[in-house]
Amino acid sequence: MAEATIDPVLGDTGPIRADLGQILARSAARFGAKPALVAAGRTFTYRQLHDLCDRAAGGLRELGVRPGDRVSLYSPNRWEWVVAYHAALRAGAVVNPINVMLTPEEVAFVLNDCGAAAIFTSGEKAEVIAGLTRDVPSLRRVISFDPAGGDVTAFDDLLGHPAAGPDVPRPAPASLSTIGYTSGTTGHPKGAMQSHRAVYLNTAALFALQARTDRDVMLNALPLPHVYGNIVMNGTFMVGATLVMMERFDPTQALAEIARHQVTVFDGVPTMYAMMLADPSLSGTDLSSLRICAVGGQTMPVAKMQEWEQRSGAPLLELWGMTELGGAGTSNCVYAPNVHGSIGFALPGLEARVGALDDASVTVPDGEPGELMVRGPLVMLGYYGNEEATKATIEPDGWMHTGDIATRDDEGHYFIVDRRKDLIITGGFNVYPAEIERVVAAHPAVAMVAVGSVPDETRGELARAYVVLRPGATATEAEIIEHCRPHLAAYKLPRSVSFVPDLPKTSTGKVMRRELKTLD
């Protein structure tokens, strides 16, 4: 049922519709002077954020940005990124969030591929990005959040525009809102096209399942360009909660922020929780304000989930998602039994099933591993300018390949076994790194673990565990392997253990298994 809200300053915001550019306007009408964002020592109310977004959107219009233009964002987490994102959408543009870890060469590929007309970036990157304009014909404006020389537009100049958003046609729910690029593990990254409806409904469904409300204070250290960080940001503003945002994750700082701001909801990837559990400041930190924690990005060992729940007193809800879904696809529900090791149920509006590995059109029986397949309005529109990749990923009947091997139990819970591309084949047997990681992580000396493969002349591949020990803890290779023996079949045992100071991670903190070989 459509709902209208009238505010004496903002006016009639009209019926609720899947339009990302109106999220802040609607919440400003409802929550006005309530704190919306806390970042870098500053607090912004909903009305202030709305005003800044209108100013920046008007400034983009003055710079020649028109509805449908691509506007890229390339910087670490900061309040200006939040304003730029919502301003671009309010101006009718399509946003292109870029992973801050990409090199200038990789950024140039993304800008060319999506045809970016403008890009927001930070001062230390502005000069390099401005130098790309010769290689990116479509790029007309480089806008810097910090002072920068050369032919670069200052973000402050946009904020000096009158506080009135441009009068542009509002997008249809099924129209393009975002082009989010995959990690590019197999060649160049691909631009997943996400509709306004997909991102909006995805965010709304996840927050509903996890019962997040306007009374919550969310702490986010996930990168905003990543779909997980994006739905945390948009969802917080959608429900009228307060977002405490970190520029980047640091375990000591994250624990301190939870206590300082009485945070009620924390989102992270498994390595974030592992690092906080191993942090010396944990024992003296008050975590009593937490009522929900969520984890996604990779499978998390049950032992670590249980340890965090015991320490925090809050349930840790595992979710699963993809860039191609614009966020989450499944989640455990706060009101249902929290099944550790499970990614929960499909979000409302999304169908899920487990397809046979040799024929994805065949659904396998419960308990049998296969490829997780999904279908529904949350699925991407396709890969931008790459019809071949789109056809290989989305079947004619709408079912999308996720590349994840999963099982389903008889109650409908889904369990991720591993990424299909990370499968280790040793002596003809399938070995899943995540299964070994879950066992190794239960060793009391282990802070973090990742499992990769090493070549073997006899068996083809063998599993090797890369282990980061807890501060002050000791363990030997033999102890780790013996710890695994009662829990894993002989062919699944790690054949070697490498003790390392850290693991290679993405900007979100996900472990990059393909980079483990560089540690040898």
This prediction has a pTM of 0.84
CA dihedral defined by 275, 203, 35, 11, rounded to 10 degrees? Answer: 170
Q: Residue 5: what pLDDT?
A: 42
SS3 (DSSP) at 123: helix
Q: Residue 9: what pLDDT?
A: 38
**Per-residue pLDDT band at 429 (split at 50, 70, 90):** low
Give the percent of the chain with pLDDT over 90.
70
Cβ-Cβ contacts under 8 Å for 132 (sequence gap 6 or more): 104, 107, 108, 111, 139
Q: What are phi and psi of 508, to 5 degrees?
A: -90, -10
- With 50 as the cut, is the pLDDT of residue 115 above it? yes
Q: Residue 418: what pLDDT?
A: 75
Give the percent of the chain with pLDDT over 70.
95
- With 50 as the cut, is the pLDDT of residue 461 above it? yes
**Per-residue pLDDT band at 177 (split at 50, 70, 90):** very high
Cβ-Cβ contacts under 8 Å for 506 (sequence gap 6 or more): 99, 101, 183, 512
Please give the domain boundaries of the chain with CATH numbers for all domains.
47-171 (3.40.50.980), 198-419 (3.40.50.12780), 423-519 (3.30.300.30)
- With 80 as the cut, is the pLDDT of residue 436 above it? yes
Q: Residue 500: what pLDDT?
A: 94
Q: What is the per-residue burial (b if ≥16 Cβ within 10 Å, else e) of 113-122?
A: bbbbbbbbbb
- With 90 as the cut, is the pLDDT of residue 316 above it? yes
Q: Residue 517: what pLDDT?
A: 84
Q: What is the per-residue burial (b if ≥16 Cβ within 10 Å, else e) of 171-204?
A: bebebbbbbbbbbeeeeebbbbbbbbbbbbbbbb
Q: Residue 188: what pLDDT?
A: 74
**Per-residue pLDDT band at 2 (split at 50, 70, 90):** very low
CB 235 within 8 A of CB 257: no
For 21-45, the pLDDT digits (tens) are: 999 999 999 999 999 999 999 999 9
Q: What whole-number distance in Å separates Cα of residue 408 and Cα of residue 342?
A: 9
Strand partners, 439: none
Q: Residue 462: what pLDDT?
A: 87
For 44-74, the pLDDT digits (tens) are: 999 999 999 999 999 999 999 999 999 999 9
For 242-281, the pLDDT digits (tens) are: 999 999 999 999 999 999 999 999 999 888 998 999 999 9
Q: Residue 454: what pLDDT?
A: 87
User: For 162-183, what is the mean pLDDT?
Assistant: 86
- With 70 as the cut, is the pLDDT of residue 185 above it? no
Q: Output the average pLDDT for the chain.
A: 90
Q: What whole-number distance in Å separates Cα of residue 162 and Cα of residue 65?
A: 17
**Per-residue pLDDT band at 427 (split at 50, 70, 90):** low
